Structure 1
């Protein structure tokens, strides 16, 4: 019986931009903002390109709308990421240890802060804190698997 085997490896490109703000907390916060903000803007650019191709039309007005949407989404998701990364780092510094609990607490604080900033009700703030904690903890556990 013939036997075949596939072997290889896949590695993602490492794109690192270092911005030294003079403070590790600020460095990590800005890094999170830039990385996730860029991903969000790229997602919008891809989505808008798809819509233009599907419709078969492209205009200056559509381009301006797409650029505004890219900036808005990039800033929104970048801010959320920056708040989360900063909170996780702050919790790590306070606790003096690096483990999954920092992600959980950082996610909870970030979820509550972002929800409270958008003038949500008290119940919504609590639900968003729980959601932030759950997502951050799950992401941390998935990082341990890889």
Structure 2
């Protein structure tokens, strides 16, 4: 049976903005906020642009609505990422080691904090803490594979 192989590389342009806040904790937190917030805002823009083109309804109202959604989701997910990065870094500094447990601690604390800010149900807060820890740990393990 004939076999074929594909070899090559793909690289994308990298844009990195550095804001020096004078503290590594703040630097990482702001960096996480900006990067993930930008991704969330871009997602909203792409999704709404698709719907506008599909419907053929270009209007100032649609533009204003999209802009508000971009700001809202960018701020929400940026804040979530900033809190996670800060918690992860804090766990790393407190424990004095770099390993997957820092991601688990950071994810669990972030899940619990975000959940506690939006509801008072203890079971829901615990479930969100466990989910945050599990997702962060899985993400960390996937990073080790690549």
1:13-92 aligned within 5 A: 13-92=13-92
Question: Which ranges in structure 1 are unaligned for 5 or more consecutive residues?
Answer: none
| CA distance in 2: counterparts of 1:102 and 1:117, whole angstroms | 22
Shift of the 3–124 alpha-carbon distance from structure 1 to 2, 3 Å rule, reads: closer
Structure 1 residue 14: deviation in Å? Answer: 2.0
Shift, 1:15, TM fit: 1.7
Deviation at 1:120, TM superposition (A): 3.5
* 2-structure distance, mates of 1:2, 1:103: 45
Q: Residue in 2 aligned with 1:7?
A: 7
Distance verdict in 2 for CA 1:136–1:3, change over 3 Å: closer
Runs of at least 4 residues of structure 1 off by over 6 A?
Answer: none
After TM superposition, give the deviation of residue 8 of structure 1 in Å.
0.2
Cα RMSD after superposing both structures? 1.2
Deviations 1:43-100 (A, max 9, x none): 0000000000110111000100000000000000000000000000000000000000
Task: Give the paired residue count.
Answer: 146
Question: Deviation string for 1:78-135 (max 9, x for gaps)?
Answer: 0000000000000000000000000000000000000001123111100000000000
